[in-house]
Amino acid sequence: MTFLVSQDLSFRIPVELSYDSSDPYAVEITFHLPGDAPVSWAFARELLLDGLSRPTGEGDVRIAPASPEGLSDVFIRLQVGCERALFRAGAAPLVAFLDRTDRVVPFGQEPAACDPVGDLDAELDRILAEDRYAG
């Protein structure tokens, strides 16, 4: 990703994108800024998906395509109070990342992925069915 410090100053920084199916709605970006400890931001996976094609987000995280024509670079703006940071990323690696997350937990299936009660109900039904047949 490119960190856009000002109109005249920018530099590339390594970032790490991560996804954990135990929190299926969120993605995390960790920025490795020179001379500083890594900084991580977690936000909605759907926000990243929507930001590829249209401006989206409110508050701390805003994502928008850099160009209105097709998939291009994407601007990611992060804000804490009055401090802001603007990054530019290629859409292709973000699409590839989102595709991998979709294989882990398909978009729209997040509730099932984080519903331990549903799994518990199925397990209790199985145990009760075994008890009925055993006794």
Q: Tell the burial category of 84 from Cβ atoms under 10 Å away from its Cβ (0-12, 13-18, 19+).
A: exposed
Nearest residue to 24 via CA among 48, 50, 44, 51: 44
Q: Cα separation of 99 and 103, whole Å?
A: 6
Strand 10-12 versus strand 15-18 pairing type? unpaired
pLDDT in tens, 90-104: 999 999 999 999 998
Look up the pTM and report it: 0.78
pLDDT in tens, 6-31: 989 999 999 999 998 888 999 999 99
Q: Cα separation of 75 and 57, whole Å?
A: 12
User: Side chain identity at 19, as an amino acid letter?
Assistant: Y
The residue ranges of DSSP E strands in the chain, in sequence order, are 2-4, 10-12, 15-18, 26-31, 39-44, 61-65, 73-80, 83-90
